[in-house]
Amino acid sequence: MVDIASLSQGASGSQAAWQAVEPCAFVLFGATGDLTRRKIIPALFSLKVQNLLPEPFAVVAFARKDKNDESFRAELREAVKEFAPHLPSEGSLWDDFAQHIYYLRATLDESEGYERLGDQLRSLDKHYGIPGNRVYYLATPPDNFSSIIQHLGEAGLNQPEQEGRWVRLVIEKPFGYDIDSARALNAELQAYFNEEQIYRIDHYLGKETVQNILVLRFANQIFEPLWNGRYIDNVQITVAETLGMEGRGNYFEKSGITRDMVQNHALQVLTLIAMEPPVDLKADAIRDEKVKVLKSIRPFTPEDVARWTVRGQYGAGKMDVHGKQEQVSGYRAEAGVDPRSETETFAAFRFEIENWRWAGVPFYVQAGKRMPRRVTEVQIQFKAIPEVLFARQNMAPIEANRLIIRIQPDEGASLEITCKAPGPRLDVLPVRMDFRYGSSFDTPLRDAYERLILDTVRGDASLFARNDEVEAAWKLITPVLEAWRDLSCPLFPNYAAGTWGPDAANSLLAGKCAWHFPQ
């Protein structure tokens, strides 16, 4: 069984790697927001239940709303019941966890609150015997990032008070809006924090199946020799969701699917599929290789954008909602959305990686909201066999091999190969060799946030994006966003909710292959 600890640590892979967590205080900005309730607190509590949190450990929730320790803890218990019902939210484990959470009522843009934060942290250090280690988690809307970073810096909370202690800062996505804003944010961060202190979240990297891409590629002899343009015809990455806006229309209007899912999650998956073997498994070695991939992708000219990208927006349609066919409204009718909005809820791209391994192999990426299924998959389409032997017989064409990496749901991978069908005739058919996490391992797959939070506490940045990586991704995507602004917008809506996107997405494939629509 794969010990992922060894992958990210470059260590021996022993359980000891998991235990190497030092006591710290965890400061949560944006503590009354959705992310805290849905992801961060359930993840912290789950780590506590698994005995993976350091001892001692304390959480300071920094937020503006009028609450106190008791009322806030009670709300969090309800959140755990709702979003992590499998966890024991009644009983001594929760009580003990909750007792270590403190609510600090303060405003993000006033220095006074940060002074009180400093005092509170010092008193918690004393009370629990925490040696001054800190994680600051920025789970606020991005408009607040600058202010928090600056105030932490000015209050002197950005660096450890003693040698040998550490201070880390976790920053949520979206990291910037385009290349200029991403650079500006990096500069603001670097004015107060060193790169080693900064953990930029892309929660896709915390998914087991995304981490498994490296293991699949580099811990098996059989794939790597074939992993290039000599044997692979094309690669497809699909990130499809059934969800519409779920009350996030305001945010999405400014973002669109390209900023929301492609610049980060889809490109992260693409770099892991395309990268060269790293020199070791440490954070920087992996990130160096990922950056090289991003830099090798052919930059989009306005002509390329017209030819190799497709935008879509969903209209009303019928789709499966919790097992029932329901009529859902179009994007323009969602709350917070302009009724004439030109924001894309679907995007497809053809990327070309201009290096020796991948020259001539198109990487197709599609991402969309309100698609028929929630599914993230990578399809490695191998080349067809030469037109000899079986292919020359008078039989149905032999399908080329495919490797499908299922990121979610039904996590696993399958390899499609050709076999002889039983019987007196020579009939050949494609069959699947299948690996499923669900049936191969007893351990349940944990939420990505658990792994990422644990890694910030352990000081392992392998699963976080580095500054140059984020900027390289924006450098690639920004010209597309700019060209879309200048090109006339397609007639939106151009796909119905519950379908696999606009017909125009097929034109990207130029008749060479077909989109793989996950089953």
Q: Give me the residues that bind ligand BG6 (CB under 6 A), please.
A: 173, 241, 243, 260
* In the complex, least distance from residue 269 CB atom to ligand BG6, rounded to whole angstroms: 11
* In the complex, least distance from residue 173 CB atom to ligand BG6, rounded to whole angstroms: 6
Cβ(370)–Cβ(314) below 8 Å? yes
Nearer to ligand BG6 by Cβ, of 209 and 401: the residue is: 209
Which residue's Cβ has the minimum distance to ligand BG6? Answer: 260
Nearer to ligand BG6 by Cβ, of 24 and 371: the residue is: 371
How are beta strands 314-315 and 495-496 bridged, if at all? parallel
Region of 370 (left: φ > 0; alpha: ψ -120 to 50; beta: rest) is left
| Alpha carbons 443 and 450: distance in angstroms, whole number | 14
Tokens 């954070």 -> residue: 283
Region of 412 (left: φ > 0; alpha: ψ -120 to 50; beta: rest) is left
Backbone angles phi, psi at 109, to 5 degrees: -110, 25
3-state secondary structure 102-147: EEEECCCCCHHHHHHHHHHHHHHHHHHCCCCCEEEEECCCHHHHHH
Nearer to ligand BG6 by Cβ, of 59 and 367: the residue is: 367
Q: How many CB atoms lie within 10 A of CB 339?
A: 9
Nearer to ligand BG6 by Cβ, of 125 and 202: the residue is: 202
| Alpha carbons 47 and 206: distance in angstroms, whole number | 14
Nearer to ligand BG6 by Cβ, of 302 and 409: the residue is: 409
| Alpha carbons 135 and 139: distance in angstroms, whole number | 12
Residue 88, SS3? Answer: coil
Encoded amino acid at 302, one letter: P
Q: Does residue 265 carry a catalytic annotation?
A: yes
Q: Which of 127, 265, 322, 516 is catalytic?
A: 265
| Alpha carbons 372 and 318: distance in angstroms, whole number | 9
Nearer to ligand BG6 by Cβ, of 171 and 428: the residue is: 171
What kind and span of H or E run contains 434?
Answer: strand 428-436
Catalytic residues: 265
